[in-house]
Amino acid sequence: MELQGTVKKLFETQTFASGFQKREMVILTQEQYPQPISIEFLSDKINLLDNVTEGENVKIGINIRGREWTSPQGETKYFNSITGWRLEKVFDNGSEPTQAAPSHSAAPVSNENPFAGDDDDDLPF
């Protein structure tokens, strides 16, 4: 899956006791009601965020992951996370389709009837 938006926030890399590392970012989607989406980059993917700055438009390849957790009281809860695995900068706003500009090399428009001199009418109606 892919998400596209503007980088709203970049967080520092977190390193855990086990040696595991992750870095998170928040993008603001480009739609009628923009959504702030938190995306985490894990282990060898954290370096994808090195050349990105807040305010840039990006397209991110993501995976959605889910996990189940049971509390000591026996209550089961479910959690989702969005993990980034690819990141590319988008240099246009990408939020609206672009329209082709009219061509200025077209022949001038004439208001003359091209069939005005045709007296030879062989149409059946």
Q: The domain spanning residue 28 has which CATH number?
A: 2.40.50.140
Q: 13 is in which domain, residue-wise?
A: 2-89
In a domain? residue 25:
yes
Task: Provide the domain count of the chain.
Answer: 1
Q: What is the mean pLDDT of each run of 10 residues along the chain (125 residues)?
A: 96 94 96 95 95 96 96 96 96 51 48 59 60
The SS3 call for residue 43 is helix
Residue 123 lies in a domain: no
Q: 89 pairs with which residues across the strands?
A: 58
Q: Report yes or no on 56 lying in a domain.
A: yes
How many whole angstroms separate alpha carbon 39 and alpha carbon 58? 12
Residue 103 falls inside a structural domain: no
pLDDT of residue 95: 47
- Look at residue 64 and tell me if it is in a domain: yes
Least Cα distance to 67 among 50, 82, 49 occurs for 82
